[in-house]
Amino acid sequence: MKKILFSILGVIILLFLAWFAFIYFVPYSKGTRSGELIKFSYKGAVFKTWEGEISQGISGAQIFKFSVLDNKEQVIKDLQDNDGNYVKLTYIERYGTFSFWGDSKYFITGVEEAESPHFRDR
């Protein structure tokens, strides 16, 4: 009986580890998004995560929500320094997320200051 119980428990643990590895190492997509950084905060009750939003439209109708992993210290600093500015974000979209990573499936890997297309000289 104990052998069957340990076998079932082992299979459950292996399935969880395989799912975790799949979520972490296999990205769904990679890309860039540009917009005005309108929100960046460290929030959460049990797990504190870095969450942000950029506005991709004139009226703020198109909002791109993203998360940043804690080990991306330079990305966090760059986002804090560019609050309210137009930025270009490089991201990885994952198949899913875990509550200790963040609220979004989009994880930022790089930040560049960019020029707003609304204020270009014509």
Q: Please report which confidence band the pLDDT of residue 117 belongs to, taking 50, 70 and 90 as the band edges.
A: confident
Judge whether residue 116 has pLDDT over 70. Answer: yes
* Under 8 Å between Cβ of 14 and 7: no
What domains are there in the chain, each with its CATH number?
27-119 (2.40.50.110)
Mean pLDDT of 49-76: 90
Q: Please report which confidence band the pLDDT of residue 115 belongs to, taking 50, 70 and 90 as the band edges.
A: confident
At 13-23, the pLDDT tens digits run 999 999 999 99
In the chain, what is the greatest distance between 2 CA atoms, to the nearest angstrom?
77
- H or E segment at 59? none
The chain-wide mean pLDDT, for the chain, equals 90
Alpha-carbon gap, residue 100 to 115, rounded angstroms? 33
Residues 6+ apart with CB under 8 A from 93: 27, 28, 29, 30, 31, 105, 106, 107
Indicate the pTM of the whole model: 0.82
CA 63, 64, 65, 69 dihedral sign is negative
